[in-house]
Structure 1
Protein backbone atom coordinates (compact mmCIF):
# COMPACT_ATOMS: atom_id res chain seq x y z
CA UNK A 1 0.00 0.00 0.00
CA UNK A 2 1.22 3.49 -0.85
CA UNK A 3 2.12 5.96 1.86
CA UNK A 4 -0.56 8.59 2.42
CA UNK A 5 -0.32 12.25 1.45
CA UNK A 6 -1.65 15.20 3.43
CA UNK A 7 -4.66 17.00 2.05
CA UNK A 8 -2.62 20.21 2.05
CA UNK A 9 -0.16 18.66 -0.43
CA UNK A 10 -2.82 18.89 -3.14
CA UNK A 11 -4.18 22.33 -2.22
CA UNK A 12 -4.64 24.48 -5.31
CA UNK A 13 -5.61 28.15 -5.36
CA UNK A 14 -6.63 30.26 -8.36
CA UNK A 15 -7.69 33.91 -8.40
CA UNK A 16 -8.84 35.90 -11.41
CA UNK A 17 -10.71 39.15 -11.99
CA UNK A 18 -14.18 39.03 -13.55
CA UNK A 19 -14.35 41.33 -16.58
CA UNK A 20 -17.33 42.29 -18.76
CA UNK A 21 -16.68 39.61 -21.45
CA UNK A 22 -16.91 36.95 -18.69
CA UNK A 23 -20.41 38.00 -17.67
CA UNK A 24 -24.03 37.68 -18.71
CA UNK A 25 -26.58 40.50 -19.10
CA UNK A 26 -26.97 40.59 -15.29
CA UNK A 27 -23.31 41.59 -14.91
CA UNK A 28 -22.46 38.28 -13.21
CA UNK A 29 -20.04 35.60 -14.34
CA UNK A 30 -21.39 32.87 -16.62
CA UNK A 31 -21.99 29.62 -14.73
CA UNK A 32 -20.09 27.74 -17.42
CA UNK A 33 -17.02 29.87 -16.76
CA UNK A 34 -17.23 29.03 -13.07
CA UNK A 35 -17.54 25.34 -13.97
CA UNK A 36 -14.42 25.55 -16.16
CA UNK A 37 -12.46 27.19 -13.34
CA UNK A 38 -13.64 24.49 -10.92
CA UNK A 39 -12.59 21.67 -13.27
CA UNK A 40 -9.19 23.28 -13.84
CA UNK A 41 -8.46 23.76 -10.12
CA UNK A 42 -9.71 20.26 -9.30
CA UNK A 43 -7.61 18.60 -12.00
CA UNK A 44 -4.46 20.35 -10.76
CA UNK A 45 -5.21 19.21 -7.18
CA UNK A 46 -5.75 15.63 -8.39
CA UNK A 47 -2.50 15.67 -10.38
CA UNK A 48 -0.60 17.06 -7.39
CA UNK A 49 -1.93 14.26 -5.22
CA UNK A 50 -1.41 11.41 -7.68
CA UNK A 51 1.56 12.82 -9.64
CA UNK A 52 -0.04 11.30 -12.73
CA UNK A 53 -2.31 12.29 -15.57
CA UNK A 54 -5.98 12.40 -14.60
CA UNK A 55 -9.42 12.50 -16.20
CA UNK A 56 -12.64 13.87 -14.78
CA UNK A 57 -14.94 10.97 -13.94
CA UNK A 58 -17.79 12.97 -12.44
CA UNK A 59 -18.78 16.42 -11.37
CA UNK A 60 -21.56 16.57 -8.87
CA UNK A 61 -23.18 18.73 -6.29
CA UNK A 62 -22.18 22.01 -7.87
CA UNK A 63 -24.16 24.45 -5.78
CA UNK A 64 -24.29 28.10 -6.81
CA UNK A 65 -24.86 30.17 -3.67
CA UNK A 66 -24.35 33.74 -4.84
CA UNK A 67 -23.11 35.42 -8.03
CA UNK A 68 -19.68 36.84 -8.78
CA UNK A 69 -20.06 40.33 -10.27
CA UNK A 70 -18.08 42.27 -12.83
CA UNK A 71 -15.01 43.80 -11.17
CA UNK A 72 -14.85 41.27 -8.35
CA UNK A 73 -12.17 38.62 -8.02
CA UNK A 74 -13.17 34.99 -8.28
CA UNK A 75 -11.15 32.94 -5.80
CA UNK A 76 -11.09 29.14 -5.93
CA UNK A 77 -9.50 26.67 -3.55
CA UNK A 78 -9.50 22.94 -4.10
CA UNK A 79 -7.92 19.84 -2.60
CA UNK A 80 -8.24 16.06 -2.66
CA UNK A 81 -10.72 15.19 0.06
CA UNK A 82 -10.80 11.38 -0.31
CA UNK A 83 -9.30 8.59 -2.38
CA UNK A 84 -10.22 5.09 -3.43
CA UNK A 85 -7.93 2.71 -5.32
CA UNK A 86 -7.51 4.76 -8.52
CA UNK A 87 -9.91 7.65 -7.97
CA UNK A 88 -9.85 10.89 -6.03
CA UNK A 89 -12.67 13.06 -4.78
CA UNK A 90 -11.77 16.76 -4.97
CA UNK A 91 -13.60 19.50 -3.08
CA UNK A 92 -13.60 23.01 -4.57
CA UNK A 93 -14.79 26.17 -2.81
CA UNK A 94 -15.46 29.34 -4.82
CA UNK A 95 -15.55 32.81 -3.28
CA UNK A 96 -16.07 36.32 -4.63
CA UNK A 97 -13.84 39.09 -3.33
CA UNK A 98 -14.60 42.79 -3.42
CA UNK A 99 -11.12 44.02 -4.29
CA UNK A 100 -11.76 47.48 -2.81
CA UNK A 101 -12.92 46.32 0.63
CA UNK A 102 -11.40 42.83 0.85
CA UNK A 103 -14.79 41.38 1.76
CA UNK A 104 -15.26 37.77 0.63
CA UNK A 105 -18.39 35.69 0.29
CA UNK A 106 -19.00 32.07 -0.60
CA UNK A 107 -20.39 31.73 -4.12
CA UNK A 108 -20.20 28.00 -4.95
CA UNK A 109 -19.02 24.60 -3.78
CA UNK A 110 -18.45 21.43 -5.73
CA UNK A 111 -17.22 17.85 -5.53
CA UNK A 112 -15.55 16.22 -8.51
CA UNK A 113 -14.09 12.75 -9.02
CA UNK A 114 -10.91 12.12 -11.00
CA UNK A 115 -9.24 8.89 -12.06
CA UNK A 116 -5.44 8.68 -12.20
CA UNK A 117 -3.97 7.23 -15.40
CA UNK A 118 -0.68 5.54 -16.17
CA UNK A 119 1.41 6.02 -19.33
CA UNK A 120 -0.91 3.69 -21.27
CA UNK A 121 -4.04 5.58 -20.20
CA UNK A 122 -5.13 2.86 -17.77
CA UNK A 123 -6.30 3.56 -14.21
CA UNK A 124 -3.41 3.53 -11.75
CA UNK A 125 -3.38 3.42 -7.92
CA UNK A 126 -3.27 6.66 -5.93
CA UNK A 127 -2.02 7.23 -2.39
CA UNK A 128 -4.55 7.59 0.41
CA UNK A 129 -5.28 11.09 1.68
CA UNK A 130 -4.53 12.23 5.22
CA UNK A 131 -6.90 15.00 6.36
CA UNK A 132 -5.53 17.34 9.01
CA UNK A 133 -7.91 20.24 9.68
CA UNK A 134 -11.46 19.93 11.03
CA UNK A 135 -12.82 21.04 7.63
CA UNK A 136 -10.72 18.44 5.78
CA UNK A 137 -11.85 15.74 8.23
CA UNK A 138 -15.49 16.76 7.72
CA UNK A 139 -15.19 16.32 3.93
CA UNK A 140 -13.25 13.07 4.40
CA UNK A 141 -15.85 11.65 6.81
CA UNK A 142 -18.71 12.29 4.37
CA UNK A 143 -16.92 10.91 1.32
CA UNK A 144 -18.17 7.33 1.55
CA UNK A 145 -21.80 8.47 1.55
CA UNK A 146 -21.16 10.75 -1.46
CA UNK A 147 -19.42 7.84 -3.23
CA UNK A 148 -22.43 5.58 -2.66
CA UNK A 149 -24.77 8.30 -3.99
CA UNK A 150 -22.63 8.68 -7.15
CA UNK A 151 -22.52 4.93 -7.61
CA UNK A 152 -26.30 4.65 -7.26
CA UNK A 153 -26.90 7.57 -9.64
CA UNK A 154 -24.54 6.07 -12.24
CA UNK A 155 -26.23 2.66 -11.99
CA UNK A 156 -29.67 4.23 -12.43
CA UNK A 157 -28.47 6.06 -15.56
CA UNK A 158 -26.99 2.87 -16.99
CA UNK A 159 -30.29 1.09 -16.42
CA UNK A 160 -32.20 3.89 -18.19
CA UNK A 161 -30.27 4.13 -21.43
CA UNK A 162 -32.96 6.32 -23.04
CA UNK A 163 -32.68 9.30 -20.69
Structure 2
Protein backbone atom coordinates (compact mmCIF):
# COMPACT_ATOMS: atom_id res chain seq x y z
CA UNK A 1 0.00 0.00 0.00
CA UNK A 2 1.34 3.43 -0.96
CA UNK A 3 1.27 6.13 1.72
CA UNK A 4 0.56 9.46 -0.01
CA UNK A 5 0.84 11.41 3.28
CA UNK A 6 4.60 10.84 3.62
CA UNK A 7 7.39 10.28 1.13
CA UNK A 8 10.98 9.14 1.37
CA UNK A 9 13.54 11.85 0.54
CA UNK A 10 14.96 9.59 -2.17
CA UNK A 11 11.56 9.56 -3.94
CA UNK A 12 11.98 13.23 -4.87
CA UNK A 13 15.71 13.63 -5.40
CA UNK A 14 16.84 15.03 -8.75
CA UNK A 15 20.30 15.07 -10.33
CA UNK A 16 21.27 17.05 -13.42
CA UNK A 17 24.57 17.20 -15.28
CA UNK A 18 25.56 19.89 -17.73
CA UNK A 19 28.76 20.67 -19.57
CA UNK A 20 29.75 24.32 -19.11
CA UNK A 21 30.15 26.10 -22.44
CA UNK A 22 31.81 29.40 -23.39
CA UNK A 23 28.33 30.89 -23.86
CA UNK A 24 27.76 30.41 -20.10
CA UNK A 25 30.82 32.46 -19.10
CA UNK A 26 31.20 35.97 -17.76
CA UNK A 27 33.78 38.58 -18.77
CA UNK A 28 36.36 36.92 -16.52
CA UNK A 29 36.11 33.58 -18.30
CA UNK A 30 34.35 31.83 -15.40
CA UNK A 31 30.80 30.48 -15.53
CA UNK A 32 28.36 33.30 -14.83
CA UNK A 33 26.70 33.10 -11.41
CA UNK A 34 23.39 34.11 -12.95
CA UNK A 35 23.48 31.08 -15.22
CA UNK A 36 24.10 28.82 -12.22
CA UNK A 37 21.20 30.52 -10.37
CA UNK A 38 18.92 29.74 -13.31
CA UNK A 39 19.93 26.06 -13.19
CA UNK A 40 19.44 26.04 -9.40
CA UNK A 41 15.91 27.38 -9.80
CA UNK A 42 15.13 24.73 -12.42
CA UNK A 43 16.32 21.81 -10.31
CA UNK A 44 14.58 23.21 -7.20
CA UNK A 45 11.34 23.35 -9.23
CA UNK A 46 11.83 19.79 -10.48
CA UNK A 47 12.56 18.40 -7.01
CA UNK A 48 9.67 20.24 -5.31
CA UNK A 49 7.23 19.32 -8.08
CA UNK A 50 8.32 15.69 -7.92
CA UNK A 51 7.72 15.64 -4.16
CA UNK A 52 4.38 17.46 -4.21
CA UNK A 53 3.13 16.22 -7.60
CA UNK A 54 2.03 19.82 -8.19
CA UNK A 55 3.19 23.00 -9.87
CA UNK A 56 5.60 24.82 -7.56
CA UNK A 57 6.81 28.39 -7.36
CA UNK A 58 9.96 29.83 -5.83
CA UNK A 59 9.03 31.64 -2.62
CA UNK A 60 12.56 32.58 -1.63
CA UNK A 61 16.18 31.81 -2.20
CA UNK A 62 17.32 31.40 1.36
CA UNK A 63 21.03 30.86 0.82
CA UNK A 64 23.35 30.69 -2.16
CA UNK A 65 26.99 30.23 -1.22
CA UNK A 66 29.40 30.43 -4.17
CA UNK A 67 32.40 28.52 -2.86
CA UNK A 68 34.57 27.97 -5.91
CA UNK A 69 34.44 29.26 -9.50
CA UNK A 70 33.32 26.95 -12.29
CA UNK A 71 35.45 26.81 -15.42
CA UNK A 72 34.45 26.48 -19.06
CA UNK A 73 34.59 22.80 -20.03
CA UNK A 74 33.81 21.45 -16.56
CA UNK A 75 30.94 19.05 -16.05
CA UNK A 76 28.54 20.46 -13.45
CA UNK A 77 26.45 18.10 -11.34
CA UNK A 78 23.57 19.43 -9.25
CA UNK A 79 21.90 17.25 -6.63
CA UNK A 80 18.61 18.40 -5.13
CA UNK A 81 16.75 16.96 -2.15
CA UNK A 82 13.77 17.97 -0.08
CA UNK A 83 15.29 18.94 3.27
CA UNK A 84 12.13 20.20 4.97
CA UNK A 85 8.38 20.37 4.42
CA UNK A 86 5.78 22.62 5.97
CA UNK A 87 2.10 22.63 5.09
CA UNK A 88 2.56 23.80 1.49
CA UNK A 89 6.22 24.77 1.42
CA UNK A 90 9.38 22.78 0.93
CA UNK A 91 13.04 23.67 1.43
CA UNK A 92 15.09 22.21 -1.36
CA UNK A 93 18.80 21.75 -0.62
CA UNK A 94 21.06 21.75 -3.66
CA UNK A 95 24.72 20.79 -3.88
CA UNK A 96 26.71 21.83 -6.95
CA UNK A 97 29.93 20.12 -7.93
CA UNK A 98 32.14 20.71 -10.96
CA UNK A 99 34.37 18.04 -12.45
CA UNK A 100 37.37 18.69 -14.61
CA UNK A 101 36.67 15.94 -17.13
CA UNK A 102 40.32 15.70 -18.16
CA UNK A 103 41.82 15.27 -14.69
CA UNK A 104 38.76 13.83 -12.91
CA UNK A 105 39.15 16.39 -10.09
CA UNK A 106 35.80 17.22 -8.46
CA UNK A 107 35.21 20.38 -6.42
CA UNK A 108 32.25 21.54 -4.33
CA UNK A 109 31.22 24.86 -5.92
CA UNK A 110 27.91 25.85 -4.41
CA UNK A 111 25.36 25.03 -1.72
CA UNK A 112 21.89 26.50 -1.98
CA UNK A 113 18.51 26.41 -0.25
CA UNK A 114 15.34 27.32 -2.12
CA UNK A 115 11.91 27.56 -0.51
CA UNK A 116 9.28 26.33 -2.93
CA UNK A 117 5.49 26.39 -2.53
CA UNK A 118 3.05 23.95 -4.13
CA UNK A 119 0.11 25.50 -5.98
CA UNK A 120 -3.12 24.23 -7.48
CA UNK A 121 -4.47 25.19 -10.92
CA UNK A 122 -6.00 28.36 -9.39
CA UNK A 123 -2.73 29.50 -7.81
CA UNK A 124 -3.76 28.58 -4.27
CA UNK A 125 -1.25 26.94 -1.96
CA UNK A 126 -1.87 23.24 -1.40
CA UNK A 127 -0.69 20.74 1.18
CA UNK A 128 2.38 18.64 0.41
CA UNK A 129 3.30 15.17 1.65
CA UNK A 130 5.41 14.94 4.78
CA UNK A 131 8.94 13.52 4.86
CA UNK A 132 10.10 10.18 6.13
CA UNK A 133 13.38 10.85 7.96
CA UNK A 134 15.49 7.70 7.91
CA UNK A 135 18.76 8.64 9.58
CA UNK A 136 20.72 11.28 11.52
CA UNK A 137 21.71 13.02 8.26
CA UNK A 138 18.03 13.50 7.29
CA UNK A 139 17.15 14.74 10.78
CA UNK A 140 20.08 17.19 10.82
CA UNK A 141 19.05 18.68 7.44
CA UNK A 142 15.42 19.00 8.57
CA UNK A 143 16.37 20.68 11.88
CA UNK A 144 18.84 23.03 10.14
CA UNK A 145 16.01 24.09 7.82
CA UNK A 146 13.83 24.88 10.84
CA UNK A 147 16.65 27.03 12.25
CA UNK A 148 17.11 28.85 8.90
CA UNK A 149 13.35 29.49 8.76
CA UNK A 150 13.44 31.04 12.24
CA UNK A 151 16.39 33.25 11.28
CA UNK A 152 14.54 34.30 8.13
CA UNK A 153 11.46 35.23 10.17
CA UNK A 154 13.62 37.29 12.53
CA UNK A 155 15.26 39.10 9.59
CA UNK A 156 11.85 39.90 8.08
CA UNK A 157 10.57 41.21 11.39
CA UNK A 158 13.67 43.37 11.94
CA UNK A 159 13.54 44.68 8.38
CA UNK A 160 9.95 45.82 8.82
CA UNK A 161 10.44 47.49 12.19
CA UNK A 162 8.97 50.99 12.03
CA UNK A 163 10.53 52.31 15.22
CA UNK A 164 13.96 52.70 13.63
CA UNK A 165 15.97 55.65 14.84
CA UNK A 166 19.43 56.09 13.30
CA UNK A 167 20.79 57.48 16.58
CA UNK A 168 20.10 54.16 18.28
CA UNK A 169 22.26 52.34 15.75
CA UNK A 170 25.20 54.71 15.27
CA UNK A 171 27.45 52.52 17.45
CA UNK A 172 27.05 49.69 14.89
CA UNK A 173 28.63 51.87 12.18
CA UNK A 174 31.88 52.42 14.08
CA UNK A 175 33.58 49.34 12.66
CA UNK A 176 32.42 49.84 9.08
CA UNK A 177 33.73 51.72 6.08
CA UNK A 178 31.28 54.66 6.17
CA UNK A 179 31.47 58.39 6.59
CA UNK A 180 28.64 60.31 8.20
CA UNK A 181 27.88 63.83 6.99
TM-score, length basis structure 2: 0.82
CA deviations over 1:108-131 (Å, ceiling 9, x no partner): 001110111112110000111123
- 2:141 is paired with a residue whose SS is helix
Matches of 1:99 and 1:158 in 2, distance apart?
48
1:159 deviates by: 4.2
| Structure 1 unaligned blocks of 5 or more | none
Pair 1:55 & 2:57 matched? yes
Matches of 2:35 and 2:156 in 1, distance apart?
25
Pair 1:115 & 2:117 matched? yes
- 1:124 is paired with a residue whose SS is coil
State whether residues 81 and 131 of structure 1, in contact with CA within 8 Å, keep that contact through their aligned partners in structure 2: no
Cα gap change, 1:67 to 1:144, in 2 (>3 Å):
same
Matches of 1:78 and 1:49 in 2, distance apart?
11
Q: How does 1:2-81 map to 2 (within 5 A)?
A: 3-81=5-83
Q: How does 1:122-141 map to 2 (within 5 A)?
A: 122-141=124-143
1:158 deviates by: 4.0
Identify the range of structure 1 (9-18 vs 151-160) with the bigger mean alpha-carbon deviation.
151-160
The match for 2:158 among 156, 159, 162 is: 156
| Structure 2 unaligned blocks of 5 or more | 163-181
State whether residues 92 and 111 of structure 1, in contact with CA within 8 Å, keep that contact through their aligned partners in structure 2: yes
Matches of 1:115 and 1:126 in 2, distance apart?
9
> RMSD of the TM alignment (CA)?
1.7
- 1:142 is paired with a residue whose SS is helix
CA deviations over 1:66-105 (Å, ceiling 9, x no partner): 0110110111010111000110010000011111222211
TM-score, length basis structure 1: 0.91
